[in-house]
Structure 1
Amino acid sequence: MPTNPSFDIAHLAHVEMYTDKFEESLDFFTNVYGLTLSGQDENSAYLRAFDDYEFHSLKLTRHSTTGVGHIAYRCASPEALERRMKAIEASGYKVIGWVEGDMGHGRAFRFEDPFGHVFEIYWETVRYEAPAHERAKLKNIAQRYHGRGASPRRLDHLNLLAADVCEFRRFMETCLGSRVTEMIQLDNGRTGGCWFTINNKTYDLACTEEHGGGHARLHHVTYATDTREDILRAADIFLENGVHIETGPHKHAIQGTFFLYVWEPAGNRVELANSGARLILAPDWEPVVWTETERKRGQAWGLKTIESFHTHGTPPVKNPGQH
């Protein structure tokens, strides 16, 4: 199987997150997490990190619940968008069709995975034009480093929950041309998790097994920092601002990422992460397979994975474990 059948998809572009505490969540993401508000309409705030080149990388939407609204990837060209659209239409997966763009991009083609997560792909984008007070001294970055809150550099990845990770893998490979860089193989034969990339990053999306019987749930959204020290500084900022720190700072065994997980005010899990300079450059990379026994040893330095990391997702499940 080719490592990437098309290279039609350029990168993970943005994530739409639902919140039922809109004002509190917006305050968190701007003043504590340290993103910048690019624009706002009646229902959504468009947020970005200082080195994201597009208008936004997080769309925070007022809603009756929490979770993920949609996941967006930008294509490599108009022709790539057309090719991917045809491949998705022929895939047998649910097609939603074309939707008009929002503040951050032009029209997008939407489709759905077997577990209810909505994806979209697009080409036409809005590049961020920094106002005078956000303009960087160096012309090769989109926005100045303001140092407000945790102030991450860019959107990195997200993690979704699915009842069948193998089926989700087929969806990602078929619809987006993704390849798996690392995965968990459970003793019962099921796949516990897969980490996907569509470029040379180690991963831009992860999928882990749904244990709560939920539908279309989000595990977390992650932004990248320059250094591990940024994450240690962020931990103090979160502490001082009464943010629930779930686990970390620590280092993942899978992907080697230095991490910190917190819950924003509505309960969505967000992460700050630093993977150093690790890239997947080998065109014939074979997925690294982790066994259940290896995972039970804990994270890289032995920290055991806390129970809520396996059970907490958004939106919450009314009757956990009931399918």
Structure 2
Amino acid sequence: MAPLHEIAHLGHVELLTPHPQQSLWFFTHVLGLTENGRDGDSVYLRTWDDYEHHSLKLTAHHTSGIRRTALRACSEEALHRRVAALQQAGRGIGWIDGDPGIGPTYLFTDPDGHEFELYWESQWYQAPDELRPSLKNQPQAYPSTGFSVRRLDHVNFLAQQTLPNGDFLRETLGAEATEQIQLDDGTIAAQWLHFNNKSYDIVYTNDWTGSRGRLHHIAFATDTREDILRAADICLENDVFIETGPHKHAIQQTFFLYVYEPGGNRIELCNPLTRLVLAPDWRTITWTEAERAKGQAWGLKTIESFHTHGTPPVDQPH
């Protein structure tokens, strides 16, 4: 079946934190995001290469985790076709007014309970004079602050079961699986899904705690691989916990660094910028249990916390 291509890209995420001031410090001074407005307990933040109003909505909450993941449709007509498919699947919640810079928004959930929003109308960012770039094809001047991440890259969800969620995104939104892990008993333990030529936008990973609806990590892309090495040094100087890396994944070949922000959410710094899926008939790459036991591309073993640490913590509600 030909790719549907009615979802343009991952738009933004709303991340929850029990330590809002410390988390805001991390995302602005360490990651290098720019503040672009506030509303109640939420702060809107953006990466320098994002054309939209914000990349991240950071919201104070009693616990950590992800509240919502936003996807932009390719057109108003595509939006309404996808909404009809979601309603037919019985996963729709309904329409709301979008956040600043975003038009009418449709809410829905995946089978695991993660909440999504789908929209079309989007106000393109106009940089103020102090952030105006020298190159007119760049939304904002390079910040030269902290990691200076380029864009929000992907979201990795922990799920009670990967496959029902991957099937749901394929059937309702036209996602396709580029790579996956299959255990010896046939279980699909993780799946990397994309909507267009980016190699992955959404990932599902089996939660070893058996929980539902949790976050594994959100990922920001850096401009170069060397930026990730620099990020590790910046984390060292700022007492930011490094969970694993820098290293290179075997799956998707992404160069990575995983850290925890002060609210407890896992953040990946990644550099997958050169890897695109151009084949319209791409065949899903399946990795076996034995192949994954070898570790990452250069032999680094996958650490235990990668299968168990997620947000919110399992003893706290959303």
Aligned ranges 1:1-323 → 2 under 5 Å = 2-4=1-3, 6-92=4-90, 94-318=91-315
The offset of 1:226, in angstroms, is: 1.5
Alignment-mate amino acid for residue 216 of structure 2: H
Alignment-mate amino acid for residue 96 of structure 1: I
The offset of 1:91, in angstroms, is: 1.6
Q: Determine the C-alpha separation between the residues in 2 that align with 1:124 and 1:276.
A: 26
Say which SS state the counterpart of residue 193 (structure 1) adopts.
Answer: strand
The offset of 1:137, in angstroms, is: 0.4
Q: Determine the C-alpha separation between the residues in 1 that align with 2:179 and 2:97.
A: 35
Structure 2 unaligned segments of length 5 or more: list them.
none
Q: Determine the C-alpha separation between the residues in 1 that align with 2:227 and 2:251.
A: 21
Name the % identity: 57
Q: Is the 8 A contact 2:221 2:273 kept in 1?
A: no
Q: Determine the C-alpha separation between the residues in 2 that align with 1:316 and 1:39.
A: 29
Alignment-mate amino acid for residue 161 of structure 1: L
Q: Determine the C-alpha separation between the residues in 2 that align with 1:272 and 1:84.
A: 31
The offset of 1:213, in angstroms, is: 2.5
Q: Determine the C-alpha separation between the residues in 1 that align with 2:294 and 2:163.
A: 24
The offset of 1:49, in angstroms, is: 0.7
CA distances 1:48-94 after superposition (whole Å, capped 9, x unpaired): 110011011111111111101001100011111111111111123x2
Alignment-mate amino acid for residue 75 of structure 2: S
Q: Determine the C-alpha separation between the residues in 2 that align with 1:112 and 1:309.
A: 24
Q: Determine the C-alpha separation between the residues in 2 that align with 1:73 and 1:310.
A: 26
Say which SS state the counterpart of residue 85 (structure 2) adopts.
Answer: helix
Q: Is the 8 A contact 1:213 1:317 kept in 2?
A: no
Q: List structure 1 runs of 4+ shifted beyond 4 angstroms.
A: none
Q: Determine the C-alpha separation between the residues in 2 that align with 1:208 and 1:104.
A: 31
CA distances 1:262-286 after superposition (whole Å, capped 9, x unpaired): 0000100001100241100000000
The offset of 1:97, in angstroms, is: 0.5
Say which SS state the counterpart of residue 17 (structure 1) adopts.
Answer: strand
Q: Is the 8 A contact 1:54 1:104 kept in 2?
A: yes
Alignment-mate amino acid for residue 182 of structure 2: Q
The offset of 1:176, in angstroms, is: 1.4
CA distances 1:95-118 after superposition (whole Å, capped 9, x unpaired): 110011111301101111111100
TM-score (norm 1): 0.96
Tell me how large the CA RMSD over aligned residues is. 1.0
Q: Determine the C-alpha separation between the residues in 1 that align with 2:122 and 2:59.
A: 20
Say which SS state the counterpart of residue 255 (structure 1) adopts.
Answer: helix
Q: Determine the C-alpha separation between the residues in 2 that align with 1:310 and 1:3.
A: 34
Q: Determine the C-alpha separation between the residues in 1 that align with 2:218 and 2:314.
A: 19
TM-score (norm 2): 0.98
Alignment-mate amino acid for residue 203 of structure 2: A
Q: Determine the C-alpha separation between the residues in 2 that align with 1:307 and 1:169.
A: 24
Say which SS state the counterpart of residue 149 (structure 1) adopts.
Answer: coil
Say which SS state the counterpart of residue 89 (structure 2) adopts.
Answer: coil
